[in-house]
């Protein structure tokens, strides 16, 4: 590079090199333009947007303060009151359900007791019925035995009489 500068310093090419450098910087070197645009953007952003952001943050701070100081305690109190009332209602409903369950349990127990009593009564009737049937069977068997004896006696008498007639 120094050799070129030394050679170009004393020669008529120097104005041409200077012109080429200017053309290059204007056409191809965009750094100065971009830096200017960046400075302009930052300046506009800080001036216009900065105050607006500050106002938005201040409004948010006020809203949060108001919420913490006023709205939140009211909400907590309303929630506490409503939850207390709901809890009382739930306890009352739970007590009612418990009483209903106790009544149903007692009714079931009574029904089971009635069923057991009926079953015992039915078993007693059945046993009595079976005893009666055995007694009746015994009576019928006795009558049958007596009838068989009578018939045997009758047939033996008939045989005796028949034996009298056969001897003739």
Residues 5-47 have pLDDT tens digits of: 555 555 667 777 777 777 777 777 677 777 888 888 777 777 7
Task: Return all residues near 14 (Cβ < 8 A) that are at least 6 apart.
Answer: 8
Region of 58 on the Ramachandran plot (φ > 0 left; ψ -120 to 50 alpha; else beta)? alpha
Distances from the Cα of 144 to the Cα of 27, 36, 147, angstroms: 145, 140, 5
Q: Give residue limits of the domains in the chain.
A: 50-167
Q: How far apart are CA 53 and CA 47, in angstroms?
A: 11
Residues 58-105 have pLDDT tens digits of: 888 999 899 889 888 898 888 998 999 999 999 999 999 999 999 999
Task: Return all residues near 8 (Cβ < 8 A) that are at least 6 apart.
Answer: 14, 17
Higher-pLDDT residue of 49, 135: 135
């Amino acid at each position: 590079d120094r050799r070129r500068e030394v050679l170009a310093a004393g020669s008529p090419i120097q104005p041409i090199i200077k012109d080429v450098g200017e053309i290059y910087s204007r056409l191809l070197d965009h750094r100065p333009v971009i830096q200017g645009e960046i400075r302009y953007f930052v300046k506009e952003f800080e001036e216009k947007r900065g105050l607006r952001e500050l106002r938005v943050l201040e409004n948010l701070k006020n809203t949060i303060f108001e919420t913490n100081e006023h709205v939140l305690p009211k909400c907590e109190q309303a929630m506490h009151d409503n939850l207390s009332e709901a809890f009382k209602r739930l306890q009352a409903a739970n007590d009612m359900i418990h009483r209903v369950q106790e009544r149903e349990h007692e009714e079931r127990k009574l029904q089971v007791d009635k069923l057991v009593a009926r079953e015992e009564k039915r078993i007693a009737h059945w046993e009595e019925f079976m005893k009666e049937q055995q007694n009746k069977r015994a009576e019928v068997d006795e009558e049958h035995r007596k009838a068989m004896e009578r018939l045997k006696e009758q047939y033996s008498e008939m045989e005796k009489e028949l034996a009298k007639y056969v001897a003739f």
